[in-house]
């Protein structure tokens, strides 16, 4: 591990002076302004060693995640995306490099980093509502408040008619919505999503992306979103980090300047998507399962540089255009 003088390792998670509630870890970082660095990942390097082989999965990966942004990490299968996310979640120790949030070094799992898993990881014997309430139960939130908050998020993901259903009665898309509601209801300081829509059919996937967009428009969230779809990344993100093939290192970071909700059929959306895909295809890095890649020869200097000096995208509160949707944001704080 790199030197970390002066940085606290995982300590008491809830310092009394912070007066935060165990079910709102975003409040731990309330003094960090919107748009400032909330999480800093420095020189991440991960080597998997077995008796026979060594695989370098991640090399020199550094990224500052800003408070309130959705940053997606895009790269081909096997390039090291899950490895990066597992390090951030504290589930895997990097070979070297550090992950810090505020003045805390993240070396173990913590409830300030909420995870949405690709395989849902729900409790099959509990109902939808009981799954969403689980974290609040552990944190000791009173029953009435728990139920009210759970129902707000269950509505936000469109499952209000299934609140009492058992998990086995749900489709894959519905299960994933439960997983998202369960993570978001806890207000983790950072939500980690590992290809959460990867297993869904195209139509359900689009619906889920739209629902997540609505949540983003009404609720300040910091999200690290892993995907191998350029289309999904451009639809959802404030910034898109494009990785190279394994060992993954950052090829380029693109600021996405458009307000939400986005129109994936708009000329500028299709053009940027095509530019990125053409580049990636040219590099033999990846293709996009969400659509057809233009076969024409990529031009030199694909124009991705034009985003270099853009102003930062506007904050989410400014971009919210529809106030008619039920806001899942906490009202009591």
Chain positions contacting ligand ADP, by CB under 6 A: 48, 55, 57, 75, 77-83, 246
What value, to the nearest 5°, has the Cα angle with vertex 295 and ends 289 and 299?
115
Q: Would you say 57 or 174 has its CB closer to ligand ADP?
A: 57
Instruction: Decide which of ligand ADP, Mg ion, none touches 117; Cβ closer than 5 to 8 Å per partner kind.
Output: none
* CA torsion, ordered 155, 193, 171, 168, to nearest 10 deg: -90
Binders of Mg ion among 58-97, rule CB under 5 A? 81-82
Tell me how far, at minimum, the Cβ of 328 lies from Mg ion, in Å: 27
Instruction: Decide which of Mg ion, ligand ADP, none touches 79; Cβ closer than 5 to 8 Å per partner kind.
Output: ligand ADP
What do you get for the CA distance between the two ends of the chain, in Å? 38
Tell me how far, at minimum, the Cβ of 61 lies from ligand ADP, in Å: 11
User: Is 297 in a helix, a strand, or coil?
Assistant: coil
199 binds Mg ion (CB under 5 A): no
Burial of 144 per CB tally in 10 Å (0-12, 13-18, 19+): exposed
Cβ atoms 233, 227 nearer than 8 A: yes
What is the C-alpha to C-alpha distance for residues 332 and 292, in angstroms, rounded to an integer? 46
Q: Would you say 117 or 307 has its CB closer to Mg ion?
A: 117
Instruction: Decide which of ligand ADP, Mg ion, none touches 96; Cβ closer than 5 to 8 Å per partner kind.
Output: none
Beta bridge partners of 139: none
Beta-sheet pairing, 37-49 with 54-66: antiparallel
Tell me how far, at minimum, the Cβ of 267 lies from ligand ADP, in Å: 31
Q: Would you say 67 or 81 has its CB closer to ligand ADP?
A: 81
Tell me how far, at minimum, the Cβ of 290 lies from ligand ADP, in Å: 17
Q: Would you say 82 or 204 has its CB closer to ligand ADP?
A: 82
SS3 content of the chain, % helix, strand, coil (to 5): 35, 20, 45
Which residue's beta carbon is nearest to the bound Mg ion? 82
Q: Would you say 87 or 156 has its CB closer to ligand ADP?
A: 87
The contact set with Mg ion (CB under 5 A) reads 81-82
């Amino acid at each position: 591990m790199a030197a970390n003088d002066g940085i606290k390792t995982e300590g008491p998670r809830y310092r009394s002076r912070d007066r935060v509630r165990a079910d709102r870890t975003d409040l731990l970082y309330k003094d960090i302004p919107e748009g400032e660095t909330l999480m800093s990942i420095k020189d991440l390097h991960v080597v998997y060693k077995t008796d026979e082989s060594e695989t370098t999965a991640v090399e020199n990966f550094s990224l500052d995640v800003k408070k309130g942004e959705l940053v997606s990490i895009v790269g081909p299968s096997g390039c090291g995306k899950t490895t990066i996310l597992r390090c951030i979640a504290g589930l895997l120790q990097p070979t070297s490099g550090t992950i810090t949030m505020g003045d805390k070094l993240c070396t173990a799992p913590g409830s300030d980093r909420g995870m949405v898993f690709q395989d849902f990881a729900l409790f099959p014997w509990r109902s939808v509502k009981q799954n969403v309430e689980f974290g609040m139960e552990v944190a000791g939130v009173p029953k009435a408040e728990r139920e009210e908050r759970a129902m707000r998020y269950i509505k936000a993901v469109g499952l209000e008619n299934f609140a009492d259903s058992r998990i086995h009665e749900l489709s894959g898309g519905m299960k994933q919505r439960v997983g998202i509601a369960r993570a978001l209801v806890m207000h983790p300081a950072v939500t980690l999503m590992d290809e959460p829509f990867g297993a869904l059919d195209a139509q359900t996937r689009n619906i889920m992306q739209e629902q997540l967009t609505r949540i983003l428009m009404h609720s300040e969230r910091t999200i690290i979103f892993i995907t191998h779809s350029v289309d999904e990344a451009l639809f959802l993100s404030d910034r898109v980090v494009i990785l190279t093939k394994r060992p993954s290192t950052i090829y380029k970071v693109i600021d996405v300047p458009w307000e939400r909700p986005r129109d994936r059929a708009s000329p500028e959306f299709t053009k940027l998507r095509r530019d990125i895909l053409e580049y990636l295809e040219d590099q033999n890095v990846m293709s996009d399962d969400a659509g057809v890649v233009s076969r024409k020869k990529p031009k030199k200097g694909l124009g991705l540089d034009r985003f270099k000096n853009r102003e930062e995208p506007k904050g989410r509160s400014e971009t919210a255009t529809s106030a008619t949707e039920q806001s899942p944001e906490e009202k009591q704080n």
